[in-house]
Amino acid sequence: MRLPVSAPFHCELMAPARDRLAADLEKLAFRDLAIPLVTNVDAAPIRAGAEARASLVRQVTGRVRWAESVRRLRAMGADRAIECGPGQVLAGLVKRIDPGIRIVSCGDPETLDAAATLAAGR
């Protein structure tokens, strides 16, 4: 699905940013993950810290596999989601991909309680 965006995100035009991010992330320690992470670049769960670092770098220029990621999360048992940040674009996309996923957007302190309630399963 093509989205109207203000910059050339997730394409080779972002290679300089990807390379800078890779250099910066190499300086940081990444531990293995306690909870599986489904990456947008692979739409697959990972647990190894090294994989997390590599995925962050690859997703700067890589294709976003959002619909596949949402379906994978659902197959893994996810039934709720929280969109953090301004706007509700991702919430709308999730609802179109799988209307059964309960989702709340949390973009300011006032909406934080709703997100916490959803995360707690209430």
pLDDT in tens, 26-74: 999 999 999 999 999 999 999 999 999 999 999 999 999 999 999 999 9
- Check whether 7 has a pLDDT greater than 80: no
Q: What is the 3-state secondary structure (H, E, C) of 33-63?
A: CCCCEECCCCCCEECCHHHHHHHHHHHHHCC
Question: Where in the chain are the domains?
Answer: 7-77, 79-122
What is residue 107's predicted lDDT score, i.e. its pLDDT?
A: 84
Q: Strand locations in 1-120, DSSP E?
A: 37-38, 45-46, 80-84, 102-106
Which among 73, 40, 71 is positioned nearest to 57, based on CA atoms? 40
pLDDT of residue 3: 64
Quote the pLDDT of residue 110.
79
Q: What percent of the chain has pLDDT over 70?
A: 93
Q: What is the pLDDT of residue 118?
A: 77
Report the DSSP beta bridge partners of residue 82. Answer: 104
